[in-house]
Structure 1
Amino acid sequence: MSKKIILLVEDNRDDEELALMAFEQSGIVSEVVVVRDGAEALDYVFGAGRHANRALSEMPTVILLDLKLPKIDGLEVLRRLRAHEQTRFLPVVILTTSKEEQDLINSYSLGCNSYVRKPVDFTEFISTARQLGLYWLRLNEALAV
């Protein structure tokens, strides 16, 4: 069985900590890789920059992608992922605080698999992150590329 990797693209350290806590509490046996901007997310996925020695045969099982990121925003990250044959079908969940209808439309237009607004409430955030991890790592049937 291949390793289940969550790529968490999140520049807010509080949200990162809550997500990691939720994954741990849910018993999801997985590796969580955290990157803090869009450029590093692309470097990780494509094995460039400080991730140049990463085994490209081990792609993330799911990418949890914030929209409002430094360097390269989440929509541009999604656009670039969908433009490449090797990453076209990687599950990408937009996980954002944005309430902008256009962000929702643009995310689905670019091929996100799901769009989730981050709850403000601590307990709801933990529950949401736990459910995302369980669904994408245990229930979802991923396309092998």
Structure 2
Amino acid sequence: MVSNISRVLLVEDNPAHAKLMMRTLNEFAQSMAIDHVTDGEAALAYLFQTGPYERKQQLPHLVLLDLRIPKFDGLTVLHRIKQDPVLKQIPVVILTTSDADSDVRGATDRFANSYLVKPIDYSKFANLMRSIGAYWTELNRTPTA
């Protein structure tokens, strides 16, 4: 399997969700680096390489972003990503519990690459993450840096 994804930024404040996401994504690409932050402020610091993240890592090739996160919500983070000339090239997948039309519209208006609702059922959630892993590591292609 050839993957065009080598680094993922996971923005998720629920520890159980984060653990499941990281475990299932690593099933597809064990060499994939997954960096996890729990709030919007940390996500923006990571992406803009400021504060504790200044020049410490390469930019991610994919962002998995929850909408309901502390400090700055996911829509704010998404807006900031897609307004930046460098960061806007990074695919952003919204992974949230909200299926509200206003959230879907808000995410698509801000150029989210995908909007997925997390199932409540554990096995369905695991299957969703496996599908995401398969899609982003095996099927989808993005431009090289």
Confirm or deny a common fold (TM above 0.5): yes
Quick check: 1:106 aligned with 2:106?
yes
CA contact (8 A) 2:5 2:62 kept: no
Paired amino acid for 1:117: V
Give me the identity figure in percent: 35
Which string of whole-angstrom CA distances, capped at 9 and with x for unpartnered residues, describes residues 7-48 of structure 1?
A: 100000010111122123345430110000011111111111
**Residue of structure 1 aligned with 2:17, choices 15, 20, 35:** 15
Match of 1:30 in 2: 32
The range that moved more, 36-45 or 126-135, is: 126-135
The range that moved more, 2-11 or 41-50, is: 2-11
CA contact (8 A) 1:28 1:133 kept: no
| Aligned-residue CA RMSD (Å) | 1.7
Calculate the TM-score normalised by the size of structure 2: 0.91
Match of 1:94 in 2: 94
Structure 1 segments unaligned to the other structure (5+ residues): none
Q: 1:95 to 1:25 in 2, by over 3 A?
A: same
CA contact (8 A) 2:119 2:125 kept: yes
Calculate the TM-score normalised by the size of structure 1: 0.91
Quick check: 1:85 aligned with 2:88?
no
Aligned residues: 143
Quick check: 1:5 aligned with 2:34?
no
Mapped partners of 1:27, 1:53: distance in 2: 25
Q: 1:67 to 1:37 in 2, by over 3 A?
A: same
CA contact (8 A) 1:22 1:129 kept: yes
Q: 1:25 to 1:141 in 2, by over 3 A?
A: closer
Mapped partners of 1:128, 1:95: distance in 2: 10
CA contact (8 A) 2:49 2:56 kept: yes
